[in-house]
Structure 1
């Protein structure tokens, strides 16, 4: 045993053993949440990322092969079967006690249920399709998620459970001609392969075959796959025991699981080391790693570098781990300006350190930059499946029977795809049916000539007749209407061009440092949006730009950079948000991100006392407040700015007419940046027409998973199972109910369904103190389920909350449902959204269409598609 290992020192000690272990060193953490932290630190100390063996949500009896963790485990087991004795291809593996208690198939079962497939092999398409269905695969028209397959003529698309990307298998007759991986969204080839191995276990009863259940069929421990020269490192042995027992207590069905004692004993059959922060003194040999924990730094107005200096012992030096070059550059500058006496005692290095510690004997204090400023530690993304989408492909997806518009022939019906032999070459074609059952075939290479029909009216249009001039006459009428609209647009544009706006200078040194300190890699769409905003703000005319991006796609960072540019240029910034809860969250995010710069950021909401509000108003008037974040209060007539340069509006559609009129008057004079996940139809329509500038954020963050969306009637068993499953993986749940008068009765009802869960309630009629208290309980994990009105709709970022129920979902608009659904799935876990409708209620046609649309568009980046569907369902309105 090694005692006295605090913070990231545990990973440092484990890394030393990795260097000396001839097989695989497996580090076991007490909780699934600790696995990421250990993996980040080990990657830093080892110079390469360790493998991760994850826990699967729920009991083995309920496992589904579409679960990403199921596929991740299967992929790792297959890699381990290929590892020979003293093979160092997987030098380090990190897992949790929960994952070790879950059984794995034997190596023999892996072989038995694997099917190799190579170029040149012959396959019977019917037999292969049947084989997939028996193993739980679902046949669809177009694949999107693991566990789906589609067959189009001689092409098989297949998303295997353990694959990062789907496979496309092309046949020539019965022979496999090519195998390649491809991107689901763009359909573009990623990699050509000679062979693949499909490992699929039967999941349902098939005629003449017994039902296969992992709970009954899997009986092996992970250690059975490891080389005999492997070692184990057990982090906090007592916590491993306690957390393992808690895990079993939380599950109703424990069939197939190992007991904690058995899971740990399987590890100790190998050479093993227990690492602990405090002495447990129970194992044969022990030594002490003399490290100490460090105190948390105060967040807010205090100077963390001064606190750091005061915490240093004589002759002690600081190793300050910076996430990137931008952060290191800024901290170097701050130390030189404010604390020159720290220069000789500080070493700034590029790297991560999840939790700081003190190496007592070496007189070194190790700390991460995120700890100094109270920011959340950013974890590098593991290799995960990503579903990339292109705008034109994603929101114009076609189902058979959909109306389409051909640029030359008019409106027709999409009738599927057909392979046609053209000049001795097979080519896929879209089949489009026009009036009088006349069909044309459009090669995929000319797909840009076809778009999905999106109408502002509920009435279906007539199919066009080919060979007549009706369509060309309609196009002429539309051209004239567009010319008339263009005249209005020119008048509006001329008024904006005539106004001399604010011209900001080129990027300053601070701006470059601030942008370089962003802890993630920018997506191409973010870069494009930021470039457009930079150009807008450097032009003399006022900016009016809409940033349309799905929840969690980086709109806030785009807004932060625009705000920073304005404040750096000596101007004030106002950020208008729809709710007090969101104002509080944005305030925390902006102050943490800009903590190293001398900008005074304040918040105006009912969380502030009358005295505080008065001081903020005086500061805005005098110019001592650089940025204010608040609700509609900040557009009140009594608020005076000394030199306002930029207004940022988050979710413009949530504000009333009065606030919008105030903003319209400002639009001709001040830069306006609007953020929205699902803009209202008219806003979207105006942006698509070019009346307002638009930037689309379409690229999902790496590793983000789509939210699984389900529609159902009120069902106590379903509600209980979903809440218990989320709590079992140490997660939290939102339950949205938009009626204040009976929200407490509903909470009592839920408490009876899930008595072991703790509940909190939030709504807009609560006092500031009570609202803040309940939200803080949820944020800190003291509350399992938050029953709330739509006050939680915008912008809340609680990574641990990954299940949401929307009660009486038929009463919500599309954008509202999408925004609410966006409260979950913001971290690495698969998230679930349940749209609950009352028993026996008859739904209107419009409500049914809305629910179907939100269920259909559950993949990443769906916000823009939902806005397009809203445009179709509600109409655009007159401009």
Structure 2
């Protein structure tokens, strides 16, 4: 793979010349006018010399592009320094991403770790603490040694850390009894230091949103902030010169070292295969081989089944921004990009730091935690105490209740105590011993549980009746559908498809929930199920909560299923009354196989006589009455529910086994996490990411959920970006006008879409990779997650800016939601978001109308 490519470069005369000049300390200019080719040369150079290299680019944009390519080639050995001085919109309790990344890279640099350190001509002027001061002020904490908590707190206070009740954001710390929580700016996860007297008893990382401990550490370095006015400062350029063996500069024409008197010219020809058909691609490959006598072709970001193979080709499962040919080296690199320019990994590992331990032992309890004793109710954990007489002593958990009364629970009966979770709305009410309230709550809970069981029995009785027919197995048309899928199915997709087919093989109707992150391939899973149902002579309804999402599903079904002879129709307000009447008539006459639509297909005039499968996308977005219609349909047909973030009730149903579930966890291979930042709204700051996205040829969502003020925003944004194509989209627009606007955005005819939450679900525009969410504090957690998922659906780095009013004081619940959405930015975080939502809001009524509540 990459080794072969690196080897091809490393033996070339031009590379050997670069390496020789560098090792001799002789200046050179490598004339290479392709940015990805430069990244390749420097990556091979680093691989060969294994010493720290600093690379200074002309501006922030070129530094970001260079970092992206080097990251694909070298992985975690590349670090960047964004210019943190450009941060002008900070929110109390949140730290800008630029400052976090800069700090992490700076600490890596000073640790003398070998790597490629990338910055811009602006970033190298940023002031930092001097390396000497940074080293002298650092504090090493080692398990088993004495480092008093007071000393650590004094250091943190000097470094301007904020003392809080619970440390769940960078630059904060919290102290509770013998436990000190610290969230350093340079660390991905905060740390928990547990003391026994003045001796450090344990050091662990923990989840800042759940506060649960995870990985153990034997030592941890507490380091001073990179920017600290009370200490000696120096420019970043000084540290780069001190800690990097070589400092290289990226110029317009190539790569420069020192004076650049020795010129090394490498001819490069750009290559692009975007949007070309397989046959044209084949001709392109042949041309490269014949015209340039290229010996090896390296395919970055391969197109799987669509790309013709040759023996000389080597597939590399990563991406580059630009393709190029180096005829003198006998190498061509294809950077295949575009909507279909990715394949998924066969299996993606899970970050071990994200697998937090369940509460299974005393180490998971911290002083002040809320506990529930099965006999006495909710109390507060007050540590361990030894109880008993000499010779018969035993350690006990001390739980404090209202009025100061306490209960001591022997360790041997630890199974009667559980950690409290799901308290949305603040701390739980502490029980009072002897009041009888807890017993009454248990009786009421038992009664409610019995009602739930009765409801379950009724549901399963209704669904236990056999279908009366069997779905056919795979045939040639199903095989054609599978072959037409342009990507390699992920492990998660294959698992979900297998689960659904097993359900359809059974005699009783299916009721399965499939959840996975946005863009992880749930729709393809649904299409496979719909095809099998249609081939068996039954109709499929594909139900979506919005007209926009229904329209997108209709286009997908029409393209994938319609090409195989399946009759697909759309029933929504995008259809006129006359068109709707014709569709209903065709449905009644069994001339429609798949009907896609909004809640309109739940109306009484829609025939369900031959209905076999009901696919429901994002069920939680429907109203109460529509859910009741869905429930009545569910009793008679197979049901497949799709969601990215199951609501608390749906999630709880899956957790307790009421619904069969399939989870798709595998992301597309070259998909990047969305960089998420909470910012204070001001136009001078917001204009920058919008301009940046437009400059790289992308599109922008500007979400403002107030229809009355949308015209003002249209005028404002239009004046700031006169060359951009700006449009407005919201649910109260005439249907045809809204459809025209959305389709124009799909096709790239609109650069900036000012919109409401109508875009929340389903829009798939890979070229849109920046979203501004105004008044983000007003949205729910799952809603924010869905909205953020409109970007980052291609291979480009995507950005999400959660804007709050300048100077506004956030409510605790809003702050918690924003911290969660900022923290859970990794791919596949939908399940964690749903779990956090379950904790904040409660589980709700499992079967009734209520949307929130608590689990006892």
Query: TM-score normalized by structure 2?
Result: 0.71
Looking at structure 2, the residues matched to 461 and 120 of structure 1 have their Cα atoms a distance apart, in angstroms, of: 38
Structure 1 position 415 matched with structure 2 position 380: yes
Match of 2:455 in 1: 488
Looking at structure 2, the residues matched to 622 and 362 of structure 1 have their Cα atoms a distance apart, in angstroms, of: 66
The range that moved more, 146-155 or 739-748, is 739-748
Contact 1:457/1:872 (<8 A) preserved: no
SS of match in other structure, 2:166:
coil
Looking at structure 2, the residues matched to 353 and 465 of structure 1 have their Cα atoms a distance apart, in angstroms, of: 63
Flag the 1:601–1:455 CA change in 2: closer, same or farther, 3 A.
farther
SS of match in other structure, 2:521:
helix
Match of 2:524 in 1: 560
Superposed displacement of residue 81, structure 1 = 3.5
Structure 1 position 221 matched with structure 2 position 192: no
Contact 1:736/1:806 (<8 A) preserved: no
Flag the 1:769–1:222 CA change in 2: closer, same or farther, 3 A.
farther
Deviations 1:371-404 (A, max 9, x none): 59355999x99999966567989xxx99999986
Contact 1:804/1:824 (<8 A) preserved: no
Contact 2:59/2:121 (<8 A) preserved: yes
Match of 2:270 in 1: 292
- The one of 334, 348, 364 aligned to 1:367: 334
Structure 1 position 311 matched with structure 2 position 297: no
Superposed displacement of residue 311, structure 1 = 3.4
Looking at structure 2, the residues matched to 368 and 749 of structure 1 have their Cα atoms a distance apart, in angstroms, of: 38
The range that moved more, 827-836 or 701-710, is 701-710
Looking at structure 2, the residues matched to 499 and 666 of structure 1 have their Cα atoms a distance apart, in angstroms, of: 15
The range that moved more, 762-771 or 134-143, is 762-771
Deviations 1:754-810 (A, max 9, x none): 9999964221305646665578569969756x4322212224467632541138x76
Structure 1 position 673 matched with structure 2 position 654: no
Match of 2:854 in 1: none
Match of 2:82 in 1: 55
- The one of 720, 723, 739 aligned to 2:686: 723
Looking at structure 1, the residues matched to 746 and 846 of structure 2 have their Cα atoms a distance apart, in angstroms, of: 39
Flag the 1:466–1:61 CA change in 2: closer, same or farther, 3 A.
same
1:180-195 aligned within 5 A: 180-184=204-208, 185=210, 187-194=212-219
The range that moved more, 561-570 or 604-613, is 604-613
Match of 2:769 in 1: 800
The range that moved more, 425-434 or 576-585, is 425-434
Contact 1:391/1:698 (<8 A) preserved: no
Match of 1:651 in 2: 618
Match of 2:317 in 1: 351
Flag the 1:139–1:752 CA change in 2: closer, same or farther, 3 A.
farther
Superposed displacement of residue 168, structure 1 = 2.9
Deviations 1:628-661 (A, max 9, x none): 7554456678888999754332222333567546
Match of 2:834 in 1: 863
Structure 1 position 76 matched with structure 2 position 76: no
Q: Which runs of 5+ in 1 are unaligned?
A: 84-88, 204-210, 239-266, 273-282, 299-303, 336-341, 711-716, 841-846
Flag the 1:684–1:65 CA change in 2: closer, same or farther, 3 A.
closer
Looking at structure 2, the residues matched to 856 and 194 of structure 1 have their Cα atoms a distance apart, in angstroms, of: 27
- The one of 406, 411, 427 aligned to 2:373: 406
SS of match in other structure, 2:282:
helix
1:440-451 aligned within 5 A: 440-441=407-408, 446=414, 449-450=417-418
Looking at structure 1, the residues matched to 813 and 661 of structure 2 have their Cα atoms a distance apart, in angstroms, of: 25
* Number of residue pairs matched by the alignment: 780
Q: Superposition RMSD on alpha carbons, in Å?
A: 5.9
Contact 2:87/2:98 (<8 A) preserved: no
Superposed displacement of residue 744, structure 1 = 0.8
The range that moved more, 738-747 or 771-780, is 771-780
Contact 2:616/2:641 (<8 A) preserved: yes
Contact 1:813/1:850 (<8 A) preserved: no
Looking at structure 2, the residues matched to 113 and 629 of structure 1 have their Cα atoms a distance apart, in angstroms, of: 64
Match of 1:146 in 2: 170
Flag the 1:143–1:461 CA change in 2: closer, same or farther, 3 A.
closer
Contact 1:28/1:234 (<8 A) preserved: yes
Looking at structure 1, the residues matched to 39 and 581 of structure 2 have their Cα atoms a distance apart, in angstroms, of: 50
Looking at structure 1, the residues matched to 638 and 32 of structure 2 have their Cα atoms a distance apart, in angstroms, of: 55
Looking at structure 2, the residues matched to 778 and 490 of structure 1 have their Cα atoms a distance apart, in angstroms, of: 46
Looking at structure 2, the residues matched to 70 and 459 of structure 1 have their Cα atoms a distance apart, in angstroms, of: 33
Structure 1 position 431 matched with structure 2 position 399: yes
Flag the 1:157–1:480 CA change in 2: closer, same or farther, 3 A.
closer
Looking at structure 2, the residues matched to 728 and 193 of structure 1 have their Cα atoms a distance apart, in angstroms, of: 46
The range that moved more, 630-639 or 153-162, is 630-639
Superposed displacement of residue 105, structure 1 = 3.9
Looking at structure 1, the residues matched to 722 and 554 of structure 2 have their Cα atoms a distance apart, in angstroms, of: 35
Contact 2:164/2:173 (<8 A) preserved: yes
Looking at structure 2, the residues matched to 128 and 458 of structure 1 have their Cα atoms a distance apart, in angstroms, of: 30
Superposed displacement of residue 52, structure 1 = 2.0
Match of 2:42 in 1: 14
Looking at structure 2, the residues matched to 838 and 874 of structure 1 have their Cα atoms a distance apart, in angstroms, of: 37
- The one of 135, 157, 163 aligned to 2:159: 135
Contact 1:165/1:385 (<8 A) preserved: no
Match of 1:270 in 2: 258
Contact 2:96/2:677 (<8 A) preserved: no
Looking at structure 2, the residues matched to 33 and 98 of structure 1 have their Cα atoms a distance apart, in angstroms, of: 11
SS of match in other structure, 2:707:
coil
Match of 2:20 in 1: none
Superposed displacement of residue 493, structure 1 = 0.6
Superposed displacement of residue 34, structure 1 = 6.0
Superposed displacement of residue 155, structure 1 = 2.5
Contact 1:319/1:365 (<8 A) preserved: yes
Superposed displacement of residue 693, structure 1 = 3.9
Flag the 1:103–1:652 CA change in 2: closer, same or farther, 3 A.
same
Superposed displacement of residue 602, structure 1 = 6.8
1:503-582 aligned within 5 A: 533=500, 535-547=502-514, 553-554=517-518, 556-564=520-528, 566-567=530-531, 570=535, 574-582=541-549
SS of match in other structure, 2:450:
helix
Deviations 1:206-262 (A, max 9, x none): xxxxx559xx94423167345675252516459xxxxxxxxxxxxxxxxxxxxxxxx
Contact 1:52/1:93 (<8 A) preserved: yes
Deviations 1:398-438 (A, max 9, x none): 9999986432223x3x435435457999989573415x543
Looking at structure 2, the residues matched to 113 and 187 of structure 1 have their Cα atoms a distance apart, in angstroms, of: 30
Flag the 1:384–1:69 CA change in 2: closer, same or farther, 3 A.
farther
Looking at structure 2, the residues matched to 875 and 538 of structure 1 have their Cα atoms a distance apart, in angstroms, of: 28
The range that moved more, 453-462 or 216-225, is 453-462
Match of 2:221 in 1: 196
Contact 1:456/1:872 (<8 A) preserved: no
- The one of 173, 189, 193 aligned to 1:169: 193
Flag the 1:849–1:237 CA change in 2: closer, same or farther, 3 A.
same
- The one of 235, 250, 270 aligned to 1:234: 250
SS of match in other structure, 1:80:
helix
Superposed displacement of residue 132, structure 1 = 0.6
The range that moved more, 570-579 or 822-831, is 822-831
Superposed displacement of residue 93, structure 1 = 3.8
Contact 1:707/1:830 (<8 A) preserved: yes
Looking at structure 2, the residues matched to 796 and 751 of structure 1 have their Cα atoms a distance apart, in angstroms, of: 23
Flag the 1:502–1:829 CA change in 2: closer, same or farther, 3 A.
same
SS of match in other structure, 2:509:
coil
Superposed displacement of residue 305, structure 1 = 1.4
Query: TM-score normalized by structure 1?
Result: 0.69
Flag the 1:22–1:473 CA change in 2: closer, same or farther, 3 A.
closer
The range that moved more, 453-462 or 286-295, is 453-462
SS of match in other structure, 1:151:
strand
